[in-house]
Amino acid sequence: MSAEIICVGTEMLLGDILNSNAQFLAQQLAQLGIPHYYQTVVGDNPERIKKVIEIAISRAQILIFTGGLGPTPDDLTCETIADFFGSPLVERPEVIEDMTRKFAQRSRVMTPTNLKQALLPQGADILPNPTGTAPGIIWQPRPEVTILTFPGVPSEMYRMWEETAVPYLKSQGWGKEIIYSRSLRFWGIGESALAEKVAPLFDLSNPTVAPYAGKGEVRLRVSAKATSETAAQALISPVEQQIKEIAGLDFYGVDHDTLSSVIGRLLRSSGETLSVAESCTGGRLGQILTEVSGSSDYFWGGVISYDNSVKVRLLGVNPQDLDKFGAVSATVAQQMAVGVKSRLSTTWGLSITGIAGPTGGTDTKPVGLVYVGIAGPNDEVASFEHKFGATRNRDFIRYVSANTALDTLRRRLLAR
């Protein structure tokens, strides 16, 4: 038994809106332990919607539709479903009464076109919409097929799902098991390299392990099916521990952890402070750090030293070294880190200097070349060269540079 999510709307195919409904429903199905293997987006076209239904009922028993329940001519979901299964549409007085009341409460006049929303397949149960005017349906047109429809407005769909759909599905015997997942996060290692290290774990059946590559990071999702979250966590725990031991310092956090939140916990626990000096990232590092609430406990500020004169005047970078090595160099990165640490009187100083592109690169210093500098207690100073690739776009290089700087500090703090 499985479910399939079908999202109706040409606007999604055109990229005009983000299909967040599918993500929400997928997460909710996992919490109910209902497997689902396919998601479909289809435009506002009756024949194509019918084709999608034909395919879906051959591989799933629960079909969940979002979108196409409004009053306009291109809202075709309900009538197309009814037509596919050979059922007439019947006007439901209780839906008209509900719409009339809602329009009156909002001091609006209901138009004749809205009556279309009261036409539901014969025999279908109403899936109430507490906030909007478009109801959904819960319908079994065949014994082996259950259909649930929701409007495309996310806020309406969420409430309808939670208040009516979930209780219904549980009453039908679903929700006795859940699928619970932990997302393990890694920085400084590629997806293929990490996958090779943990390859034997991909053969597990419960829990399962699957890799995902993000923007500069890698994640491993460990998922277990069990009767409760506690039981699922018990299945996941030994596998999670094994992965952490294999990955070592490449592992940095779980679920909603970020490098900045991890850095915050480490600095706060040690009573240490941080300042930053940025060139090519233009404040991105400071932005990421201050996304964490309470970061003022350990992050004292930074200098955006885009022009070389700022590097010299505010950070104390040696102008002769700038002439000799250039702004994008290990030497300048170190001096920037030392300078900001000294000027702001912090325990640690981090710096970034590089070429974010798309212009400015040379044969010896291509786009994507970045140096991260670090200055710490006991006159500790170091720099690290990174080549993020000339084909990467500017935003990627800036984002990865900032997070790589944080990862550099994280590894130093943990290795002490």
Q: Which two tokens stand for residue 272?
A: 């240490």
Distance CA 96, CA 162 (A): 23
Mean pLDDT in residue range 215-232: 94
DSSP for residue 177: S
Q: What's the pLDDT at 109?
A: 84
- 112 — pLDDT class (breaks 50, 70, 90): confident
Of the candidate ranges 111-120, 239-248, 372-381, the one whose mean pLDDT is the lowest: 111-120
Share of the chain above pLDDT 90, in %: 90
User: What residue ranges define each of the domains in the chain, with the CATH number in brackets?
Assistant: 3-171 (3.40.980.10), 178-254 (3.30.70.2860), 259-415 (3.90.950.20)
Please state the rounded mean pLDDT for residues 185-211. 96
Residue 364 corresponds to which tokens in the numbers above?
Answer: 């010896």
Range in 20-34, 263-277, 400-414 with the lowest mean pLDDT:
20-34
pLDDT given for residue 24 in this prediction: 96
At 167, the pLDDT band (50, 70, 90 cuts) reads very high
pLDDT for 141 beyond 90: yes
Percent of the chain with pLDDT over 70: 100
pLDDT-based confidence at 110, cuts 50/70/90? confident
Residue 178 predicted with pLDDT over 90:
no
The answer to whether 208 and 222 have CB atoms below 8 angstroms apart is yes
Looking at residue 118, its amino acid is A
Q: What pLDDT score was predicted for residue 1?
A: 77
- Nearest 5°: the CA angle 275, 281, 286 is 35
Provide the whole-model pTM.
0.81
Contact status, residue 368 vs residue 389, Cβ threshold 8 Å? yes
DSSP state letters, 16-75: SS--HHHHHHHHHHHHTT--EEEEEEE-S-HHHHHHHHHHHTTT-SEEEEES--SSSTT-
The span from the CA of 206 to the CA of 70, in Å, is: 42
Residues 280-290: tens digit of each pLDDT: 999 999 999 99
Q: What's the one-letter identity of residue 112?
A: P
pLDDT band of 80, cuts 50, 70, 90 = very high
Query: Smallest Cα–Cα separation from 69: which of 126, 8, 131, 11?
Result: 8
Is residue 56 pLDDT above 80, yes or no? yes
Which DSSP string do the residues of 127-171 spell out, in sequence order? E--SSSS--EEEEEEETTEEEEEE-S-HHHHHHHIIIIIHHHHHH
Q: What is the mean predicted confidence (pLDDT) over 20-39?
A: 94
Please tell me the predicted confidence (pLDDT) of residue 206: 95
What is the number of helices (H) and of strands (E) in the chain? 15, 17
State mean pLDDT over 370-394. Answer: 94
Sheet of strand 217-226: strand arrangement: 208-213, 217-226, 178-187, 251-254
Instruction: Tell me the three state secondary structure of residue 331.
Output: helix
- Greater confidence (254 vs 114) lies with 254
Average pLDDT of span 357-372: 95
| Amino acid occupying residue 25 | L
What's the pLDDT score for residue 108? 87
Reported as a single tens digit per residue, the pLDDT across 301-358 is 999 999 999 999 999 999 999 999 999 999 999 999 999 999 999 999 999 999 999 9
pLDDT digits (tens, 9 = 90+) for 257-280: 999 999 999 999 999 999 999 999
- The SS3 call for residue 382 is strand
pLDDT of residue 39: 97
Residues 93, 356: Cα–Cα separation, whole Å: 62
Quote the pLDDT of residue 175: 80
